[in-house]
């Protein structure tokens, strides 16, 4: 996220989050470490987003046991907070990915009654030419599944779109 100096000054991450909730965030960090130890023992801390994608369901499961510790000794409420942050992070990432998908429809100058449809995501383009009368149907046909895929399976979409970059 690129922000200007003025925008950054209006986002009090330290004074409005870290100073408000130091003990709670310490507990949430234990959840991150426990997850890393479970899935990638011995590796540096990182969020493997492929390991669990059911944040809302897991959040509610832990919420039902809030006020108690889980079998690993970590508070269920800390896991609720972690899942809430994970859910929000995925939503924000998905919104950003949706904003990065563009559709351009332009009249082709080379062929009569043809329309060129260009789908672009982070520099990867797919172009299709179709008859003008079918252009709107084609956009709907192509765009809806892409948006659903980006919304519900963003990691898979990124893998597919980045296949040729390795």
- Whether 23 shows a pLDDT value over 80: the answer reads yes
pTM over 0.85: no
In the prediction, which pLDDT does 94 show? 83
Residue 138 CA to residue 131 CA, distance in Å, equals 9
Please report the pLDDT score of residue 82 as a whole number. 96
Write the pLDDT tens digit of every residue in 113-148.
555 656 665 566 666 555 544 445 555 555 566 666
Q: Is 105 helix (H, G, I), strand (E, B) or coil?
A: strand
**Residue 162: per-residue pLDDT:** 56
Confidence of residue 110 (pLDDT cuts 50, 70, 90): very low
Kindly report the average pLDDT of the chain as a whole number.
76
Of 64, 57, 66, 46, nearest in space to 84 by CA: 57
What pLDDT is stored for residue 107 in this prediction? 42
CA proximity to 55, closest of 84, 24, 33, 97: 84
Contact by Cβ (8 Å): 58, 52: yes
Question: First CA to last CA across the chain, in angstroms?
Answer: 24
CA of 107: how far to CAs of 111, 117, 139, 142, 148, in Å?
9, 9, 14, 18, 27
Contact 63, 82 (CB under 8 A): no
Which of residues 3 and 16 earns the better pLDDT score? 16
């Amino acid at each position: 996220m690129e922000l200007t100096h003025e925008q950054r000054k209006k986002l009090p991450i330290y004074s409005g989050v870290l100073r408000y909730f130091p003990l709670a965030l310490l507990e949430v960090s234990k959840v991150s470490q426990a997850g890393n130890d479970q899935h990638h023992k011995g590796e540096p801390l990182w969020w493997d987003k492929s390991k669990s994608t059911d944040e809302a369901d897991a959040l509610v499961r832990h919420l039902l046991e809030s006020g108690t510790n889980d079998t690993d000794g970590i508070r269920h409420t800390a896991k609720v907070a972690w899942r809430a942050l994970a859910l929000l992070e995925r939503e924000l990432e998905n919104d950003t990915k949706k904003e990065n998908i563009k559709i351009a429809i332009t009249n082709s100058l080379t062929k009569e009654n043809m329309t060129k449809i260009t789908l672009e995501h982070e520099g990867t383009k797919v172009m299709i030419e179709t008859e003008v009368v079918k252009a709107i149907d084609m956009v709907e046909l192509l765009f809806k599944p892409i948006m659903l895929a980006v919304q519900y399976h963003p990691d898979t979409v990124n893998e597919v779109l980045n296949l040729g970059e390795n």
